[in-house]
Copies of this chain bind each other. A is one copy, B any other.
């Protein structure tokens, strides 16, 4: 497995084990160094915008003291929804590697795919959004499914 995806999985596990939200983590890397980390905190923060990628962008922006994350790569355990994808574009993130697909997310009750069908355009970003380590990231869903009385958003 890619070493940075392993770090993104660690982030996701932190969120799952604490019941903070969906089973998703993200890492931002610049020049071979991790500059931002995030896991989903929608339930913890009572804030629908707290996806792992948004949290990682906020973290990297704080660490680098800039809204311009050009030269950075994002590794996310789940394919970014349109909110997160457009956030990556605004932040000038160079490239995104993701594990589970948006269709996978639907199987555990998330609406990313519904929004994706509505908005679309992902076919034009095949070089920007690249799937890696899907099987490893899918194991996070098993961990997530073990939680009883989950809050779905």
Identify the A interface with B (CB < 8 A). 42-43, 45-49, 54, 57-58, 61-62, 65-69, 81-87, 89-92, 111, 115, 118-122, 124-125, 153
Most buried by B among A61, A83, A153: A83
19 contacts between A and B (CB under 8 A): A45-B67, A46-B61, A47-B57, A47-B58, A47-B62, A48-B90, A48-B91, A49-B57, A49-B58, A49-B91, A67-B153, A83-B90, A86-B115, A89-B111, A90-B153, A118-B121, A118-B124, A118-B125, A121-B121
Q: Nearest residue in B to A151 (C-beta to C-beta)?
A: B67
User: How far is A125 from B114 in the complex, measured between Cα atoms in Å?
Assistant: 13
| Residues on the B chain within 8 Å of A91, using CB | 48-49
User: How far is A117 from B61 in the complex, measured between Cα atoms in Å?
Assistant: 26
Q: Nearest residue in B to A59 (C-beta to C-beta)?
A: B47
Interface SS majority for chain A: helix
Q: What is the distance, in angstroms, from A150's C-beta to the closest C-beta of chain B? A: 14
| Residues on the B chain within 8 Å of A120, using CB | 119-121
Q: Nearest residue in B to A124 (C-beta to C-beta)?
A: B118
| Residues on the B chain within 8 Å of A84, using CB | 83
User: How far is A153 from B61 in the complex, measured between Cα atoms in Å?
Assistant: 13
| Residues on the B chain within 8 Å of A62, using CB | 46-47
Given A81-B90, A82-B85: A69 in contact with B57 (beta carbons within 8 A): no
Q: What is the distance, in angstroms, from A110's C-beta to the closest C-beta of chain B? A: 10
